[in-house]
Amino acid sequence: MKTHLALAGIVAMLAACSHEGSSPSSKSDWGTGLNTVERKYGKPATEVHDAAVAALKGYEVNVAKDRHDEMGSEIVAKRGDDSKIYVTISALDAKSSRASVRVDPGDSKMATMVHERIAEKLGMGTAKGAMLGGNTDDRTYDADLKTCLDAAERTAKALDWTVTNKELHDTWAQLDTRDANSNPARFRMERSDDRTKVKFTAGAGKTDDSKTTLAKMREEFDRQVAGHAK
């Protein structure tokens, strides 16, 4: 027990020191409000760092600064017009981290695109059904497409998820979201006569996390649509 407590104390001390200026994850003036888009990832800081560098290189920018260690990263990339992209990553624990992206001059849309590319590099691009199932479910509701799409959007808001894509067409609709750890979830809706078939997909594989997320999104959607699956 004493050994475990001692190790925990060392980890806490290192984390504290890393935020006092000696680590790339030290706090800096990264701008506020719309200038910075911040997300939490259920991945170690080192993995998010590698994904961030790969994401930035995909935009054909010049990575002018890249300081990183196990506690976090500080990356600065220059675009063709000399504007800059700033990425900071801080370890929250051994399995999760927080990333902030700022694109000068306050381009929040571009910052969101960088985050989406980071998620893609981490294998968290979009929600996909597992080959053997386990992270999807289909239900049919006595409601039209627009009603179901609105309910899906309210579900995301109630669960404090981020909406990344929203589409409404004549025969189908779709809402893509990310949970608090940036894991993807999707509501796919298809019109069937006067009813709507909704397919819920959580994550990209059959895991305990995806099962938990799937249960949450179905339960909350049922509340928001004010109806019951047939």
Q: Which of 86, 121, 156 is the last residue of a domain?
A: 121
What is the domain extent for residue 188?
136-225
When pLDDT is averaged across residues 46-75 and rounded to a whole number, the result is 93
Segment among 6-20, 93-107, 126-140 with least mean pLDDT: 6-20
Tell me the pLDDT tens digit for each residue of 101-126. Answer: 999 888 899 999 999 999 999 999 99
Mean pLDDT of the chain: 85
What is the b/e burial string over 9-45, where b = at least 16 CB atoms within 10 angstroms of the residue's CB? eeeeeebeebeeeebbbbeeeebeeebbbebbbbbbb
Residue 5 lies in a domain: no
Q: Which of 57, 92, 121 is the last residue of a domain?
A: 121
Tell me the pLDDT tens digit for each residue of 154-164. Answer: 999 999 999 99
| 104 C-beta neighbours (distance < 10 Å), count | 16
Residue 129 lies in a domain: no
Residue 14 lies in a domain: no
Residue 209 lies in a domain: yes
Q: Which of 121, 148, 180 is the last residue of a domain?
A: 121
d(CA 182, CA 40): 6
Residue 68: pLDDT over 60: yes
Residue type, 94: A
- Helix H segments across the chain? 2-17, 45-57, 108-121, 145-158, 208-225
Structural domains in the chain (count): 2
Tokens of residue 50, six digits: 């590698």
108 and 177 fall within a common domain = no
Indicate the pLDDT class of residue 34, thresholds 50, 70 and 90: low
218 and 142 fall within a common domain = yes
| Percentage of the chain lying above the pLDDT 70 cut | 83
Indicate the pLDDT class of residue 10, thresholds 50, 70 and 90: very low
Residue 172 lies in a domain: yes
57 and 115 fall within a common domain = yes
| Percentage of the chain lying above the pLDDT 90 cut | 67
Residue 7 lies in a domain: no
143 and 74 fall within a common domain = no
CA distances from 56 to 127, 189, 218 (A): 23, 33, 35
Sheet with 162-168: list strands edge to edge: 136-141, 195-202, 184-192, 172-178, 162-168
Find residue 126's DSSP bridge partners.
none
109 and 165 fall within a common domain = no
d(CA 126, CA 142): 27
95 and 167 fall within a common domain = no
pLDDT score at 194: 83
Tell me the pLDDT tens digit for each residue of 161-218. Answer: 999 999 999 999 999 999 999 999 999 999 988 899 999 999 988 888 899 999 999 9
The CATH number covering residue 38 comes to: 3.30.310.80
Residue 61 lies in a domain: yes
3-state DSSP helix/strand/coil % of the chain, to nearest 5: 35, 35, 30
109 and 149 fall within a common domain = no
141 and 114 fall within a common domain = no
Instruction: Give the DSSP per-residue string, 129-144.
Output: --TT-SSEEEEEESS-
Indicate the pLDDT class of residue 225, thresholds 50, 70 and 90: very high
174 and 202 fall within a common domain = yes
What is the b/e burial string over 200-225, where b = at least 16 CB atoms within 10 angstroms of the residue's CB? bbbbbebeeebeebbebbbebbbebb
Residue 10 lies in a domain: no
Residue type, 53: V
When pLDDT is averaged across residues 22-35 and rounded to a whole number, the result is 48
Say which residue, 74 or 35, is predicted with more confidence: 74
109 and 40 fall within a common domain = yes
d(CA 188, CA 215): 16
